[in-house]
Chains A and B, each alone.
Chain A
Amino acid sequence: MGVRFQAEERGAWNARFWTGFVLAGLVLGLLVPLLNRWVAPDSPFAVPDYLVPLLGKYLCYAILALSLDLVWGYAGILSLGHGAFFALGGYCMGMYLMRQIGTRGVYGNPLLPDFMVFLNWNELPWFWWGFDHFAYAAAMVMLVPGVFALVFGWLAFRSRVTGVYLSIITQAMTYALWLAFFRNDMGFGGNNGLTDYKDILGWDVHLPETRLGLYLASVVGLGIAFLVCRFIIASKLGRVLLAVRDAESRVRFLGYSTTRAKLFVFTVSAVFAGIAGALYVPQVGIINPSEFSPGNSIEIAIWVSVGGRGTLIGAMLGAALVNLAKTWLTGAAPEIWLFFLGGLFVLTTLAFPRGLVGALRYLRWTRPSAPAGAVPAPAGAKEPS
């Protein structure tokens, strides 16, 4: 495939877009609950209860993929540590859920989670204070990954660490957190993490209704993340970021602080990764240090590259499809899953560098019906009117 200048997805806010957005929202937010609650369980169209949290999990992964695509696809920052922001958000939610257990734990301690009683701790560490309030926990879900990314990004971008070096230090970051969270003295349940949740906002987490509610919250979360990402990439800042991706030093000579632009988008991205993690934890029922594992973060990059980086739809599709394959393959033939994942990545990189969505667009443009030699009009790009 020769050099082809493909207009990135930097959309206009037109009727066509909103129709698609609302339709997707209706399918995910209305059709799934309808098929789950109001269709007889033996009907072939029914969505069984066990499927709801699974779908919810895919939606959380889609939010995570969007957040990585925002920094990688649009600003050229390949973070291989986004799993860490996801896990930090997840731990904040896990801490809230642990505090909701109250006296229903094995040891029945009204203040301390079981693992702290087990470690003979007498009081709640200061960083657990406030997590019994949902609003506080919800704020921390965004603040902890956000502030962490802000500080980390400031150090990295200010020193002009880019490219593969940045990828390596983000891996090191998530690896360091992985090791730290394994330690019991950290106060986050060590190896076992946080689990055995009872209820969220007064609702039993095991009830199908609660699970549907969490699923719907994930739909809303994905919708908001998508709109915010789209707003950023459609703005002038989005074009500055694309320019940074392609020729960063040139952007500096135009007078833009590329450090600040990258820091902004990196922080926003980390906040969404944290939200994804927080929505994920009550649906899977556990958060433990394995979420920090370096491999997890690399997997996110594979979802995005399979779907098509630099396209928001691609990132979401990639997350859903790869995880669908994972669910199926790890059940059907667990020993080949990693080979499949690696093979998929190699194949995508070699044959479809723009991923699934990029390949589909390429097909659409090279169709014989298109006027020969025409430069494809940038879909919805800002035009001089």
Chain B
Amino acid sequence: MSPVAAARPTGDVLLYLNGVTVSFDGFKALNDLSLVVEEGELRTIIGPNGAGKTTMMDVVTGKTRPDMGEVFFRGNEDLTRLDEAEIANLGIGRKFQRPTVFENLTVFENLELALADSRGTWRTLFASLTPERRERIAATLSRIGLAEDSRKPAGALSHGQKQWLEIGMLLIHDRQLLLLDEPVAGMTDRETEETAALILDLAQDRTIVVVEHDMAFVRSLGAKVTVLHEGSVLAEGSVEHVQNHPRVIEVYLGR
């Protein structure tokens, strides 16, 4: 397998974390974490439970404020000063571990809310669906295989379909950076393969950070891997490199 097949790092730093520390009641979820993701890169992040993977995403998306350290996007946007909505509007999208779609809205409406469009309250009140937007929603619907279900309430979808709808919601917005938290959790083998193909396809024209437990899936992405352990980076490199790293074997893969 050719390592780093999809990743075409341009050398420009897109996401920069330096010395980030987050503690909850004395427990350091992130401990002096430093991480650099380059523009155009596909990066997988692995680590045992409690290694700080989800907290790292919370910090980047504004859900959690770090106690110490700096987080920059595109070099000059200080993410520690912005709230969730502002960060999302900078072009950072996030997919949660548990699929969270809006269950009482239809599949179509879920995508409509995710469309790249003005987020202002007043504008939203008077927004109308132009033919181009409908077109875009329809194209996304067929890409995620939910064209038949567009009028179904999202709550009536199967688990795998919800995951896909959530990916579709990230797709339609055209974000510069996507953070995917365990995108194949609860998926069948077939769905996992399809998702890997979709992520590789998406990685052609944007930066993606994937947090995952499933090593087979990580291998199939063939991207640079960062191993987190106890809130900081333990190892970084190709899948082969980290799999042969003695400390990694000790804390994670060896068990």
| A1-25 at interface with B (beta carbon < 8 Å) | 3, 5, 7-8
Q: Check B32 for interface membership: any CB of A closer than 8 A.
A: no
Cβ–Cβ < 8 Å partners of B121 in chain A: 237, 257, 260-261, 264
Cβ–Cβ < 8 Å partners of B151 in chain A: 375, 377-378, 381, 383
CB distance B102 to A242 under 8 Å?
yes
| A364-385 at interface with B (beta carbon < 8 Å) | 375, 377-378, 381-385
CA distance A5 to B149 in the complex (A): 14
Q: Check A243 for interface membership: any CB of B closer than 8 A.
A: yes
A-B contact count (CB 8 A): 108
CA distance A385 to B4 in the complex (A): 42
CB distance A384 to B88 under 8 Å?
no
Q: Check B67 for interface membership: any CB of A closer than 8 A.
A: no
Q: Report the minimum CB–CB distance from B98 to chain A (whole Å).
A: 10
**Which chain B residue shows the least CB distance to A377?**
B151
Q: Report the minimum CB–CB distance from A354 to chain B (whole Å).
A: 12
Q: Check B164 for interface membership: any CB of A closer than 8 A.
A: no
Give the interface centre of B94, B103, B106 by most chain A CB atoms within 10 Å.
B106
Given A5-B155, A254-B169: A384 touches B126 (CB 8 Å cut-off): no
Q: Report the minimum CB–CB distance from B61 to chain A (whole Å).
A: 6
Cβ–Cβ < 8 Å partners of A255 in chain B: 85, 88-89, 119, 173
- 0/1 interface trace, chain B 97-108, chain A, CB 8 Å (1 if under): 000101111101
- 0/1 interface trace, chain B 113-147, chain A, CB 8 Å (1 if under): 11000011110111101000010011001000000
Q: Report the minimum CB–CB distance from A74 to chain B (whole Å).
A: 11
Given A253-B94, A257-B121: A246 touches B104 (CB 8 Å cut-off): yes
Q: Check A107 for interface membership: any CB of B closer than 8 A.
A: no
Taking a contact as CB atoms closer than 8 A, the residue among B113, B124, B156 that contacts A375 in the complex is B156
Q: Check A236 for interface membership: any CB of B closer than 8 A.
A: yes
Given A258-B85, A384-B134: A239 touches B63 (CB 8 Å cut-off): no
Q: Report the minimum CB–CB distance from B105 to chain A (whole Å).
A: 6
Cβ–Cβ < 8 Å partners of B61 in chain A: 253
A interface vs B, CB < 8 Å?
Answer: 3, 5, 7-8, 232, 235-237, 239-240, 242-243, 245-247, 249-258, 260-261, 264, 375, 377-378, 381-385
